[in-house]
Each structure stands twice: as C-alpha cells, then as structure tokens.
Amino acid sequence: MDKPTAGLKRTAVVSGGSSGIGKAMVARLHAQGWTVHACGRDTDKLLTLAKELPGVRTAVCDVSDRLAVRAFARDVAAMSPSVDLLVSNAGGLREIDFTHSDLSSTDLSAELRSNTEGAINLIAEFLPGLRGALRASILIVSSGYGLAPATRAPVYSASKAALHSLSKSLRRQFAPLGISVTELLPPVVDTPATAHHDGPKLSAAQVAAQALQGALNAREEVRPGSVRFLPVLLRIAPALAERIVAKT
C-alpha cells in the first residue's frame, strides 16, 4: 500500500472496523499514519480497538440507521473536513434454510438492512466529505457470493449481489467527481463470523492488504484467493461455477 503523501495526513472512515476484515484494515491504515475513524455496533470491541491502536477514533453506529450514520458523518466532519477513503465493510451473514426455519419469528431482511442499505447510507452521508478530498476512494466490501450465491445463505448472497450492482452504478456516477469505487469480493475469510466453517480461509490481514492497495490504485474489483477465477468460470462453465459455489 502506498504511503500517505509527506506532510499530508489522510483520513479514512471504516464501518465494521472493530473486528474481522474491517479491524485488519483499520490496523493497516493506522500503521501507515492515516487518521482513522472506525465505527461498529459493539461498544466493548470498539473500546478494545481504541486501546490496541491509540489514536484511532471510534464511534458506536448502526449503519442500517440513516440518522445514526448522519450523526456519525457530522462528528467525523467536525474533526476531519475531508475523507480520502471510505470503507463500507459493516454487515453480517446468517445461514437461513427457508424450508426448515421458523420464518414467522425470523427477521428475514436484517442482512439487506445491514449489508446493502448500510452501504447506501454510509456512502450518501459521507459523500460531502469525499467530494472535499483531492482524490477520494470508496471501498465496498461485497463477496464472491455476490457473483454466485451460496445455498446456505440466500439472503446474504442477495445482499452482496445488490452491492455488486451498486458498485458498478456508483463507479460510473462518481467518475466525473474524481471518486473511485472499488469492490472487494473475498472468499471465506478467517473471522469470528466464520469460526464454524471448516473449509479453507484467507486471513483478514491478507485480504485487507490486497483490498486497500486495490482501492488506493483505483482498481474496479479486488478478488482475493479463489474468487479471482470465478468470473472466468462463470463465463465458460456457468452451471459448474454455480454448483461449486453453492456448496461452499
């Protein structure tokens, strides 16, 4: 990852910054000398983050709540008038089997709110700060499941497919403003959310490094690990690709 320009301290905002990929990004940016604002929903995890990385500014914020995101953006603007990098990372994954779950008591749209609506809220409320930067970047954390869905996580997969589409549209809209939009499509990553998963996993630090380098170089997509082969496989053998991903 390139280092901040000498004498110019850059500002990053990371949602879901207290664990997993988000925390790895916060740590890497902090080590590079960025001013980092991290938000999350877990107060204890944010307190731990602040102790581990002195100088990182933390805030409790549920990105699915537009007014909460607006307040967070206002607080950030009071300290950092411009935002050079916005990382939309907050979200969650649940395994929902529509044929066996008690759907009457299940909040079926939770992932759509946190994963998709959360990204929309974050980008909308931080757009003024992004427009104030000399060259701004947005990094949207999607998933390989946004290209081909996992049977075990239908709503999560749908939310990430929406982010894939959103990334493409916003990339075209923001290009005249000098704001790049990079989509991260990781495979299964070793985070607390995937602790029960027995298959191969990439480390959060490895994925964070690739993603940040891609975003700061204005790459359209970053596809770590096995996901780098997925677009090609979907073109030449779409049915096979879908079957493989469906089982992961």
Cβ atoms of 141 and 184 within 8 Å: the answer is yes
Type of residue found at 105: S
Token output for 118: 């959360």
Tokens 């993603």 belong to 211
| Secondary structure (DSSP) of 49-62 | HHHHSTT-EEEE--
- Among the listed residues 72, 126, 145, 156, the single catalytic one is 156
- The answer to whether 145 is a known catalytic residue is no
* DSSP secondary structure string for all residues of 139-201: EEE--GGGTS--TT-HHHHHHHHHHHHHHHHHHHHHGGGTEEEEEE---SEESGGGTT--S--
Phi, psi of 99 (to 5 degrees): -85, -15
Q: Collapsing DSSP states into helix, strand and coil, what is residue 39?
A: strand
Residues annotated catalytic, as ranges: 156
